[in-house]
């Protein structure tokens, strides 16, 4: 598992993915400085909130895309068959790949945190970066599961993006369902609300991860990370178990 994780991370470095990350960070920093120059009040708060949202979205997209394309390329090059031709269980392969992707997620989260040091206190950025890393861990596991399930880049990436957007916005969708502009007591409304509640129960509360107000109002504390850590452990266990089931049932 250690060797697989090491070469997975090495693949990301050799593909010059980090150069892309550095380029986007520099572009985001320049854009934040430009927007800060035209802001009338609360310049630092505006810059930190903008940078946090932009870097979070970029990190989620680039990591999920790398995970999916990396596994697809390994399937096409018959790398998986080569690895499993040795006396290595499939679970070791899967966990090793996840650990390598988790290492890349930590690097991306750390780089985003360093870029934010100009706009927020270091302690708040440290908590924000830890939360971003946990969020990226969940996205990594979802990306791997979707690729093993659908085996197609477009479908897998689209599913990951839908999962992420729903997890980010489900609280707002629930509020709109429970408190509509025009109140209705119809059966259809009750069914919709029940469906939204069931869907929210299944999805992680990613809207609580990597909150922008931590950077804007400096309200984060260790207590805010505890429920996020619990959700990360639970969903990683569920997603990894489902991905392992899909991998074991494949005929290679």
Count of CA atoms in the C-beta half-sphere (13 A) of 123: 6
- Two tokens, residue 198: 């069931």
What is the spatial distance between Cα 10 and Cα 16, in angstroms, rounded to a whole number?
A: 10
Q: How many CB atoms are closer than 10 A to CB 27?
A: 12
Tell me phi and psi for residue 168, to 5 degrees.
-75, -35
What is the spatial distance between Cα 181 and Cα 168, in angstroms, rounded to a whole number?
A: 22
| pLDDT in the model for residue 196 | 87
Render the burial of 107-120: b for 16+ CB within 10 Å, e for the rest.
bbbebbbebbeebb
Instruction: Give which of 22, 143, 154 is closest to 94, Cα–Cα.
Output: 143
> How many angstroms from the chain centroid is the CA of residue 221?
21
Domain of residue 228 covers: 2-248
| pLDDT in the model for residue 183 | 67
**241-250 residue pLDDT tens:** 998 888 888 7
Instruction: Give which of 129, 164, 105 is closest to 52, Cα–Cα.
Output: 129
Number of domains in the chain: 1
What is the SS3 assignment for 179? coil
What is the spatial distance between Cα 66 and Cα 73, in angstroms, rounded to a whole number?
A: 10
Cα Rg of the chain (Å, integer): 20
User: Sign (positive/negative) of CA torsion 245, 62, 164, 6?
Assistant: positive
Q: Identify the segments of the chain with pLDDT beneath 50.
A: none
| pLDDT in the model for residue 101 | 93
- Two tokens, residue 251: 């005929």
What is the SS3 assignment for 39? coil
Tokens 């989620």, located at residue? 60
| pLDDT in the model for residue 252 | 61
């Amino acid at each position: 598992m250690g060797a697989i994780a090491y070469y997975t991370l090495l693949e990301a470095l050799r593909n010059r993915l980090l150069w892309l990350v550095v380029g986007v960070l520099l572009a985001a920093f320049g854009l934040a400085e430009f927007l800060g120059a035209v802001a009338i009040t609360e310049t630092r708060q505006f810059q930190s909130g903008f940078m946090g949202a932009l870097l979070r979205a970029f990190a989620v997209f680039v990591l999920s895309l790398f995970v999916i394309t990396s596994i697809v390329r390994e399937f096409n090059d018959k790398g998986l068959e080569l690895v499993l031709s040795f006396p290595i269980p499939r679970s070791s392969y899967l966990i090793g790949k996840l650990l390598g992707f988790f290492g890349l997620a930590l690097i991306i989260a750390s780089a985003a945190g360093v870029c934010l040091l100009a706009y927020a206190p270091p302690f708040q950025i440290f908590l924000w970066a830890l939360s971003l890393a946990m969020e990226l861990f969940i996205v990594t596991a979802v990306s791997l599961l979707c690729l093993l399930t659908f085996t197609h880049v477009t479908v897998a990436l689209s599913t990951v993006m839908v999962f992420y957007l729903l997890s980010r916005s489900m609280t707002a969708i629930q509020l709109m369902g429970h408190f509509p502009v025009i109140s209705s007591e119809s059966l259809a409304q009750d069914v919709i609300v029940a469906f939204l509640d069931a869907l929210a129960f299944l999805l992680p509360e990613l809207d609580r991860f990597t909150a922008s107000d931590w950077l804007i109002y400096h309200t984060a504390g260790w207590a805010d990370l505890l429920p996020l850590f619990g959700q990360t452990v639970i969903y990683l266990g569920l997603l990894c178990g489902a991905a392992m089931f899909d991998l074991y049932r494949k005929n290679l």
